Amino acid sequence: MSDTKATTGGSLFTPFNMVAGLILLVGGAITVLRFTGGLGAVTNLSDYNPWGLWIGFDLLVGVALAAGGYVTSAACYIFGLKRFHSAVRPAILTGFLGYALVVFALHYDVGRPWRLPYPFIVQPGTTSVLFEVGACVALYLTVLFVEYSTAPLEWLGFKRARNLVVKLTLVLTIFGVVLSTLHQSSLGALYLIAPSKLHPLWYSSYLPVYFFISSIIAGMSMVIFEGTMSHKYFHDKMDEAHLKEADGVVLGFGKAAAFLLFGYFVIKLVGLAVDNNWHHLATGWGLWFLVEMLGFVLLPCYLYAVGTRDKNIKMIRRTSLIAVLGIVLNRLNISLVAFNYHLPSSERYFPHWMEIAISLFIVTIGVLVFRFVVTRMPILYEHPDYKDAH
């Protein structure tokens, strides 16, 4: 993944680049087909299933995994945990790219990009949860862009503009946390209007709380996972401070994630008890629910706790992948798998291969942009002109 052409003058025709290029070509062709032939040409969406993979994965999963930005900046600038400072810029970059790609992916689902701002300027639906989600995501994307801008401003040598943005750090962080709290929970609230469609094991009046707490877990796990990948592929781009603080970031977030995962498990049990849904655990759906709760909540909780106790950095980093997959599974269960569970199999939704290809296309764009930025801008190291600024 490392940019060998930019750093060593090597060939562009690496296996990664060739696979990424193929994905981009296929995704580009499907994009043309989507905007010329409509949804029916590339998706299996229907009136029963108007929201598919592009909402379940690209939106719900994308927003959750991009939570590392507000989690890390809050830990560093609001709670004063300066030992996490080296993780802030990579987390902000990952968050900014995640939200930007969520908005990009929405264009495929909406189909008329020029109508994306309609809820704000044409017919504001201020009583709609979806309006609140859209407003908060738009505002938070702007906040992330301003927070991220310090890196390109340093890269371009715009010192005055960079210093102005730095002075706004605390305000931007607080604003970002407030906006994230609102829209992360509201994404769960979107499904409160569908009690007859979402399986009782996943439906709960506590869905907004579940989504918010799991987004913090997702953010911490994603920071650990992104750091693991960066250490493997961009180790040469990291300065001494980043390398020195890396293990502390992993241990700190691993410990916090263990506590949050256990708390999340407890409130899920509370939700089951309040709604008296215990009898559903004896069904096939109950078995799948237990796979999610035991295999992707309690297991990473235990592994995070053991890894933190033993200071086993490798265990914590490997556990972050399990936790990230658990967030993906949870969001897909709610939006796709357990949604419309009562319909016969012939009417159930399964994504078209072109829907999967577009999602892979969007993820690939994110990886390529991330690689481009970290190999050129001061993300994994501090700019020489600002080493005494922190």
Mean of pLDDT values over 255-261: 97
CA 164 to chain centre: 28
pLDDT number for residue 10: 55
Pairs from 36-41 (Cβ < 8 Å, separation ≥ 24) = 38/111, 39/111
- Residue range 323-333, pLDDT digits in tens: 999 999 999 99
Do the domain assignments include residue 90?
yes
**Bridge partners, 339 (sequence order):** 198
Do the domain assignments include residue 11?
no
Rounded Cα gap, residues 345 and 43, in angstroms: 17
Residue 6 has pLDDT above 50, yes or no: no
Do the domain assignments include residue 114?
yes
Question: pTM score > 0.95 for this model?
Answer: no
pLDDT number for residue 389: 57
Do the domain assignments include residue 351?
yes
Query: Is the separation of the CB atoms in 339 and 52 below 8 Å?
Result: no
- Residue range 336-355, pLDDT digits in tens: 999 999 888 888 899 999 99
Structural domains in the chain (count):
1
Phi and psi for 239 in degrees, rounded to 5? -90, 180
Do the domain assignments include residue 389?
no
Phi and psi for 15 in degrees, rounded to 5? -55, -40
Residue 207 structural domain = 16-380
Residue 387, classified by CB atoms within 10 Å of its CB into exposed (0-12), middle (13-18) or buried (19+), is exposed
Mean of pLDDT values over 65-81: 94
Do the domain assignments include residue 386?
no
Nearest to 219 by CA among 115, 92, 363: 92
Phi-psi map region of 378: left, alpha, beta (phi>0 left; psi -120 to 50 alpha): beta
Do the domain assignments include residue 388?
no
**1 — pLDDT class (breaks 50, 70, 90):** low
Amino acid identity, residue 241?
A: A
- Residue range 117-151, pLDDT digits in tens: 887 888 777 788 888 998 999 999 999 999 999 99
CATH of the domain at 174: 1.20.1630.10
Residue 7 has pLDDT above 60, yes or no: no
Please state the three-class secondary structure of the chain as a single string: CCCHHHHCCCCCCCHHHHHHHHHHHHHHHHHHHHHHHCHHHCCCCCCCCCCCHHHHHHHHHHHHHCCHHHHHHHHHHHCCCHHHHHHHHHHHHHHHHHHHHHHHHHHHHHCCHHHCCHHHHCCCCCCCHHHHHHHHHHHHHHHHHHHHCHHHHHHHCCHHHHHHHHHCHHHHHHHHHHHHHHHHHHHHHHHHHCCCCECCCCCCCCHHHHHHHHHHHHHHHHHHHHHHHHHHHCHHHCCHHHHHHHHHHHHHHHHHHHHHHHHHHHHHHHHHHHHCCHHHHHCHHHHHHHHHHHHHHHHHHHHHHHHHHCCCHHHHHHHHHHHHHHHHHHHHHHHHHCECCCCCHHHCCCCCHHHHHHHHHHHHHHHHHHHHHHCCCCCCCCCHHHCCCC
pLDDT number for residue 383: 86
Mean of pLDDT values over 40-60: 92
Nearest to 319 by CA among 305, 300, 302: 300
Do the domain assignments include residue 164?
yes
pLDDT number for residue 175: 95
Residue 302 has pLDDT above 90, yes or no: yes
Residue 256, classified by CB atoms within 10 Å of its CB into exposed (0-12), middle (13-18) or buried (19+), is middle
> For the chain, first and last CA: distance in Å?
30
pLDDT number for residue 384: 84
